[in-house]
Structure 1
Amino acid sequence: MTPELREKLLAGLRDGSIVPYLGPGVLADVRDAASGAPIPADSDSLIIAMNGGKPMAPKLMYEFPRAAMNVELKRGRSAVTRFLNKTYGDTQWTRAAVHDWLKTIAPAYVIDINRDTQLQASYAGVPHTLIVGIARIAGTAFRYKIFSWDGSSYQRVEQIPPGRPILFKPMGTPLPEGDYIASDADYVDFITELMGGFSIPPEVKELRKGKQYLLMGMRLNRDTERMVMADMIYSAAQPAGWVFIPEPTAKEQRYCKKIGLEIIDGDIFEFIGAAVPA
């Protein structure tokens, strides 16, 4: 990465023209405060944690939504929700270097596909809006909930208050309620409505026009994550932005060229000047 590109990215994150898009890799240095175990964030680690520390059958290890669907069919949807609530809501984790760095920049709009609460903690001292993805909810065509944070608690609202930072967590969070997009059925419903325009509030549809994006901590070799991302960044500028991918595969290179993302062959921890997790 050239010094000029680095300054361009930092300036864009600060002025809001570039939107951070956070994937599981931004949590690579996070550990359980009690045991020192790494936080399960990527697909494989989530599956193993959900299965009591053991891998599942090879066909289920392919992707977390498939494994979560298997658990849901056997033990009910609530079993997956309980696992995610315990993992991300009841366990104390160390802080991520990326989140500490992002807190100093305080972008006005952030997309975070992780299900932990560290992004929300970074904005705890600032009134903000939280958008949480939901799926398979009867009585509404919309696939999101909006919450307003006043500095002490979240309150459900119908519209986004103006002039506040917006935190969009499409895959869910335990706070203020344990809502998640996890199983195959969740993703099918959420992505279907995302493509139809019902998974994103109208204010965000307007806000995102002409933005560029900096994808951090995610690979682009999984169809599910790519489908979510492509619709989340709809109406982006051209080129659409940048993505950190160390040693990108040919598949990732083709996809990024198609969608208009420039690959930065490097690591997000190097970009922020933090130690790369072992």
Structure 2
Amino acid sequence: MLKEALAADAIIPYLGPGLLRQSSAAPPVPDGPEGVAAALNTRATAPSKIRSNMWSVAQFIEQRRHRRTLQAWMAEIFASSAPLTGLHAWLATLPLSLIIDSWYDGTMRAALVANGRTDVVEIQGVTRANENRDIWTRTYDLSGKELRPGPAAKTVLYTPHGSVRPAANFLVSDADYVEVLTEIDIQTPIPEAVKARRTNRGFFFLGCRFDDQMLRIFARQIMKRSNGPHFAVIDAKTMTKNERRFCTECGITLIDLPIGEVAAALVNPA
């Protein structure tokens, strides 16, 4: 059912860092917030009480070393390209109206580039730390050229937290999210193209977890006013109470299978 729904552009893939483990047992970039926190700590050791929290560690660095240092270190951490998975490559062939990529690695973008797609624009969330105007996102074509305004495209790739490519845009520190979270309930930071394309569709979460409030808030607001149905591939044994509550509240049907098994079923011919 989900394979057919994706092929028919009836459901929106919402991709997370858990997909990186499908191409490598030891991905060349962090595959979760804890990994980013650990990588940042090798560059500037944060206090022990926040050391495992990516957002707080990033804020610590921004306050003490400057925003430019944080951005440069994030670009270093995600400089290596993760190998494309079969799932990324398959999704790149589909006539999807919208793809959400909630991680910084740029693998879905690379898959679209490798497929030779010319009908895609990427809308990235950007920090307002370096801005003195009312801006929430920037739009790029797959060559890396910034588009103002972004033209109509068959596929919108939305990276709400930013991405290492093409311009090292990162929403990562607590301060980055202050204004976003103030406005997100009324949907101001969500691009109009995303609002329009989610309306008659549901979401399919792959490689995502909802074990932090920040991740739950963004997923909830991106799904807002979409018709559903929604699905998520998650190991039920490892789910937290907050994750279970979130999935119940949002009407997300759990698929308790290894993500590699689900990806293979999607990609391989029936």
Q: What is the TM-score with the length of structure 2 in the denominator? A: 0.86
1:48 Cα deviation after fit: 1.0
1:222 Cα deviation after fit: 0.8
> In 2, distance between residues paired with 1:265 and 1:123?
28
Aligned to 1:103: 92
Instruction: Indicate yes or no: 2:107 matched with 1:114.
Output: no
When residues 60 and 193 of structure 1 are mapped into structure 2, their CA distance, relative to the original with a 3 A threshold, is same
Q: Which stretch of structure 1 is more off in the superposition, 70-79 or 140-149?
A: 140-149
Deviations 1:185-210, CA, capped at 9 Å, x for gaps:
10222232333333222232112112
1:251 Cα deviation after fit: 2.8
SS in 2 for 1:12: helix
Aligned to 2:167: 177
SS in 1 for 2:146: strand
Aligned to 1:12: 5
Alignment of 1:49-64 (within 5 A): 49-52=39-42, 56-64=46-54
Q: Is the 8 A contact 1:98 1:269 kept in 2?
A: no
When residues 100 and 55 of structure 1 are mapped into structure 2, their CA distance, relative to the original with a 3 A threshold, is farther
Deviations 1:3-22, CA, capped at 9 Å, x for gaps:
xxxxx111111121110001
Q: Is the 8 A contact 1:135 1:143 kept in 2?
A: yes
Q: Is the 8 A contact 2:54 2:172 kept in 1?
A: yes
Q: Is the 8 A contact 1:88 1:174 kept in 2?
A: yes
Aligned to 1:161: 151
Aligned to 2:127: 135
SS in 2 for 1:116: coil
Aligned residues, how many? 259
1:60 Cα deviation after fit: 1.4
When residues 16 and 48 of structure 1 are mapped into structure 2, their CA distance, relative to the original with a 3 A threshold, is same
Alignment of 1:21-36 (within 5 A): 21-31=14-24
SS in 2 for 1:100: helix
Residue 73 of structure 2 aligns with an amino acid whose one-letter code is: F
**Percent of aligned pairs with the same residue?**
25
Correspondent of 1:234 among 220, 224, 227: 224
When residues 54 and 77 of structure 1 are mapped into structure 2, their CA distance, relative to the original with a 3 A threshold, is closer
Instruction: Indicate yes or no: 2:255 matched with 1:264.
Output: yes
SS in 2 for 1:167: strand
Correspondent of 2:70 among 67, 80, 92: 80
Aligned to 2:83: 94
> In 1, distance between residues paired with 2:81 and 2:107?
11
Q: Is the 8 A contact 1:72 1:80 kept in 2?
A: yes
When residues 254 and 46 of structure 1 are mapped into structure 2, their CA distance, relative to the original with a 3 A threshold, is same
> In 1, distance between residues paired with 2:69 and 2:86?
31
> In 2, distance between residues paired with 1:200 and 1:66?
24
When residues 198 and 135 of structure 1 are mapped into structure 2, their CA distance, relative to the original with a 3 A threshold, is farther
Aligned to 1:4: none
Aligned to 1:5: none
> In 1, distance between residues paired with 2:29 and 2:95?
24
Q: Is the 8 A contact 2:98 2:197 kept in 1?
A: no
When residues 59 and 229 of structure 1 are mapped into structure 2, their CA distance, relative to the original with a 3 A threshold, is same
SS in 1 for 2:145: strand
> In 2, distance between residues paired with 1:188 and 1:16?
34
